[in-house]
């Protein structure tokens, strides 16, 4: 449906593609309008974004990227309504064409990933620097203004760089088509590809140990859930946590080496996001071109959000511990922090200790 065309030399972060708007057979006169298919595609993306927002964004105003997710849903809604209006009114009565909407939408969405990631990283850094209530009061208006400004600049960029004229091409000797140039975000493409390769290369040497670590992480998560149900804070201190684990849950001997903190956090990230990354990479390998207004979705945004939060958590966890005031995320950063620390302390607890044998000799035994 979207055959790829050579990229424009003036735009470095995108690749030009051709969206087939209409096609017809020269001999039979059979005509096909694909506007309805693009409308269904946007409606599917809107439904997927709403589902991801409901599952992943528990506190929409907690961070810049969570508020950005709301703006993406609103933009998808506007685009779906616009395409529906063009499809309902028809090309003759509609003030804009389907090509106009697709071309400008692809340029707008394609210009957003880099600034949104930068502003999201800046927002998390400011939250660590300023932790007063006054900062929390002004955070939401500040983020809202930055998001609106980002969308406005992206829209202005699209009007200055996009050609929305229909182009007639010959698909075959008997088939002609009217196509429209749209853009694919190479930034998102390389982001997914590089992240997939990094996670795969890091996890591959520890493949045999991953099932054991996941089992321990699952047990830690169940413990935390049980304690929260009883309205008790399981993670008051690391020593309290380790005592409960050693007494009730981890009586078996630890035979695997403990994961380091960065490896443990990457394991938590990869176990949640690897299916999405793998599916995206498969689409890229088989040459399924996807325009920017589809790839810039809440799945990618939440994946980037998890990556940023994981890096910041790793950078600060050694000094501030796992109880940092970070927004709730789909990746269980605290659980995998305790997974790394627990295994180290568990091995220390398993070292031989001297006890008195209840005998006349008072001989020492090692257990």
pLDDT at 242: 45
151 and 79 both lie in a single domain: yes
Query: Residues 140, 247: one domain?
Result: no
At which residue do the structure tokens 């020492």 appear? 364
Shared-domain flag, residues 122 and 21: yes
In a domain, 294, yes or no: yes
185 and 298 belong to one structural domain: yes
Q: Would 56 be classed as within a structural domain?
A: yes
pLDDT in single tens digits along all 367 residues of the chain: 444 443 433 334 557 788 888 888 877 778 788 889 999 999 999 999 999 998 887 777 778 998 999 999 999 999 999 999 999 888 788 888 899 999 999 999 999 999 999 999 998 888 766 554 456 677 888 899 999 999 999 999 998 888 878 888 887 778 888 889 999 999 999 999 999 999 999 999 888 888 888 888 888 888 877 776 775 444 444 444 444 444 444 434 444 566 788 898 999 999 999 999 999 999 888 888 889 999 999 999 999 999 998 898 888 776 666 655 666 778 888 888 888 876 444 444 444 433 334 444 444 333 3
Is 101 inside any structural domain?
Answer: yes
Number of structural domains in the chain: 2
216 and 306 assigned to the same domain: no
Residue 153's pLDDT is: 95
pLDDT score recorded for residue 164: 79
The predicted pLDDT at position 167 comes to 85
In this structure, is residue 277 part of a structural domain? yes
The verdict on 120 and 243 lying in the same domain is no
Same-domain check for residues 101 and 234: no
Q: DSSP characters for 136-174?
A: HHHHHHHHHHHHHHHHHHHHHHHHHH-----EEEESSSS
5 within some domain:
no
Residue 24 lies in a domain: yes
Task: Note whether 224 and 350 are same-domain residues.
Answer: yes
* Residue span of the structural domain in which 119 resides: 14-205+266-320
167-170/31-33 β-pairing: unpaired
Query: Does residue 261 lie within any of the structural domains?
Result: no
Predicted model pTM: 0.80
Are 175 and 217 in a shared domain? no
Do 122 and 232 belong together in one domain? Answer: no
Say if 366 falls within a structural domain. Answer: no
User: Helix-strand-coil percent breakdown of the chain, rounded to 5?
Assistant: 65, 10, 25
Same domain? For 189 and 132 the reply is yes
The C-alpha atoms of residue 26 and residue 177 are separated, in whole angstroms, by 10
| Three-state DSSP string of 172-230 | CCCEEEEEEEEEEEHHHHHHHHHHHHHHHHHHHHHCCCHHHHHHHHHHHHHHHHHHHHC
**Could you tell me if 157 and 119 lie in one domain?**
yes
């Amino acid at each position: 449906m979207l055959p790829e065309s050579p990229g424009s030399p003036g735009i470095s972060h995108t690749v030009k593609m051709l969206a087939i708007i209409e096609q017809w057979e020269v001999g039979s006169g059979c005509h096909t309008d694909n506007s309805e298919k693009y409308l269904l595609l946007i409606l599917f993306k809107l439904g997927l974004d709403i589902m991801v927002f409901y599952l992943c964004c528990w506190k929409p105003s907690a961070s810049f990227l969570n508020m950005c997710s709301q703006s993406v849903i609103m933009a998808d809604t506007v685009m779906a309504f616009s395409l529906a209006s063009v499809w309902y009114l028809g090309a003759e009565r509609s003030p804009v064409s389907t090509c106009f909407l697709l071309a400008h939408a692809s340029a707008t969405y394609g210009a957003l990933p880099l600034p949104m990631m930068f502003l999201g990283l800046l927002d998390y850094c400011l939250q660590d620097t300023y932790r007063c209530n006054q900062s929390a009061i002004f955070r939401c208006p500040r983020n809202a203004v930055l998001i609106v400004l980002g969308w406005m600049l992206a829209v202005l960029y699209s009007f200055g760089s996009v050609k929305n004229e229909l182009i007639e091409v010959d698909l075959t000797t008997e088939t002609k088509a009217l196509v429209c140039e749209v853009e694919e975000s190479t930034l998102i493409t390389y982001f997914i590809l590089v992240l997939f390769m990094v996670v795969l290369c890091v996890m591959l040497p520890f493949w045999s140990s991953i099932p054991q670590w996941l089992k321990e992480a699952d047990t830690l998560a169940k413990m935390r859930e049980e304690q929260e149900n009883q309205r008790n804070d399981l993670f008051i201190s690391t020593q309290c946590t380790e005592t409960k684990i050693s007494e009730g849950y981890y009586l078996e001997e630890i035979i695997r080496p403990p994961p380091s903190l960065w490896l443990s956090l990457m394991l938590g990230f990869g176990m949640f996001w690897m299916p999405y990354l793998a599916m995206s990479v498969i689409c890229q390998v088989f040459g399924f071109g996807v325009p920017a207004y589809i790839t810039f979705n809440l799945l990618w945004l939440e994946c980037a959000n998890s990556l940023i939060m994981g890096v910041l958590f790793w950078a600060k966890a050694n000094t501030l511990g796992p109880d940092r005031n970070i927004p709730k995320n789909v990746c269980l950063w605290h659980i995998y922090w305790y997974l790394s620390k627990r295994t180290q302390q568990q091995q220390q607890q398993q070292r031989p200790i001297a006890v008195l044998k209840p005998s006349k000799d008072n001989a020492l035994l090692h257990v």
